[in-house]
Amino acid sequence: MVSWQANDGIKSAVVGLLSSGLSGYAFNHSDIGGYCAVNLPFIKYNRSEELLIRWMELNAFTTVFRTHEGNKPTCNSQFYSNQRTLSLFARCAKMYKAWYFYRSQLVKEASQKGLPICRHLFLHYPNDRHVHNLSYQQFLIGTEILVVPVLDKGKQNVKAYFPEGETYPWKHIWSGKLFTEQGSEAWVEAPLGYPAVFIKDGTSVGETFLENLRNFGIL
């Protein structure tokens, strides 16, 4: 659904992403913006511009970055609807391209070990009981990138959780702020175009990702 819902909307897309990854589907994604719109007199589900942009941010950190007009294109905001959506689509596409080198590594690993690209935190932090309670709130790309997407209408920040058992500090890619306390939560600003994404500070993957973002002119 072109909605913010947990059972059939952007939140459920993350649940499907992570659960299918655990079921052997290492490469997966969702339609940017969702697919199913409803435009009846008594019920309406139409894709808003905000939902489209947040879904762009989400899918910039999945295996495939792909839009879909949906089953009712004229009822939905599209990436080509105006200059703002085009600009933010280009920005998210650059985010997607910036971790291409790591995506290639993870695809190779998936072919050898069956591990998904996008992972639930409990795969790498099984002794942290808090991560067992997470569903769609955040996920890992491999082991090096932590993504905390905005999945609620009107929100400009998110609550990130930094798991126990991690030896590296997590660095917020846009501000450079370090989060060093294991097993802690923090509210992080996430205006449109700046999804809450963190790298392990001082690792080659993280530094290469940041360098690519700089080269693409978005950091």
Domains and CATH numbers, the chain: 10-216 (2.60.40.1180)
Residues 6+ apart with CB under 8 A from 179: 160, 162, 169, 170, 171, 172, 186, 198
Q: Counting Cβ atoms within 10 Å, is residue 24 exposed (0-12), middle (13-18) or buried (19+)?
A: exposed
Picking from 188, 214, 195, 160, the residue whose alpha carbon sits closest to that of residue 53 is 195
Q: What is the pLDDT of residue 77?
A: 96
Of the chain, the end-to-end C-alpha distance in Å amounts to 32
With a cut of 70, list the residues of the chain below it in pLDDT: none
pLDDT digits (tens, 9 = 90+) for 28-69: 999 999 999 998 989 989 999 999 999 999 999 999 999 999
Task: Tell me the Cα Rg of the chain.
Answer: 17
Query: Residue 40 pairs with which residues in a beta bridge?
Result: 43
